Structure formats: structure tokens, C-alpha cells
Amino acid sequence: MLTGSAPARHFGVLLVTLGIAMLVIGIVYHVMFMTGLRHEHNAMSAEGLIHGQSGFPPSIALIAAVLLLAIGLMAIVNMVFHVSLFG
């Protein structure tokens, strides 16, 4: 099995780590934004400014980001510890 050169492996690990960090930041920002939006919606509803209750279902973007984060974490474990998580 070819493992590639060490600099290429380190660069790959760096790129996957950067992607994981960006996903975590994006997920945290998205959850904070949606929480604030829900609070604002509840406050406006309590003041009678809006009518009806419309929930905010989990967004497809958040679900996709969490799935990509899981794949990225499995990839980094595979790359750093040489543990095959995919079979």
C-alpha cells in the first residue's frame, strides 16, 4: 500500500483540520443565530406583533454540516492514527 510522502500527508491533515474548524465555527454560529431568532419570534408573538406559531425546524444546512463534521472527524482519525473506520 502506498502511503505517500510525509509533507503531503501533513498538508492533507492540515486541510482536513481546517475544514473541521470551519465547520465547528459555522455550526456554532448557526445555532446561536437560530436561538436568537427563536427568542425574537417569541418576544414578538408575546407582544402581539405577529400571530400564529410557526416553529423553526432543524435546517437542512445544519444537518449537512453535522454529517460533514462526522465524516471529517472520521477522516482525521484515519489519517493521524491509521485506524480504518470505513471497513
Residue at 75: amino acid letter: A
Each residue of 20-62: pLDDT tens digit?
Answer: 999 999 999 999 999 998 899 888 888 888 886 777 778 899 9
pLDDT bucket at 83, cuts 50 / 70 / 90: confident
Tell me the C-alpha distance between 53 and 12, whole Å. Answer: 47
Residue boundaries of the structural domains of the chain? 15-45+57-87
Residue 24 in 3-state DSSP?
Answer: helix
Residue pair 85/78 in contact (Cβ under 8 Å)? The answer is yes
**What is the pLDDT, as a whole number, of residue 77?**
92
20: CB partners within 8 A, 6+ apart: 69, 72, 73, 76
Mean pLDDT across 7-32:
95
pTM: 0.80
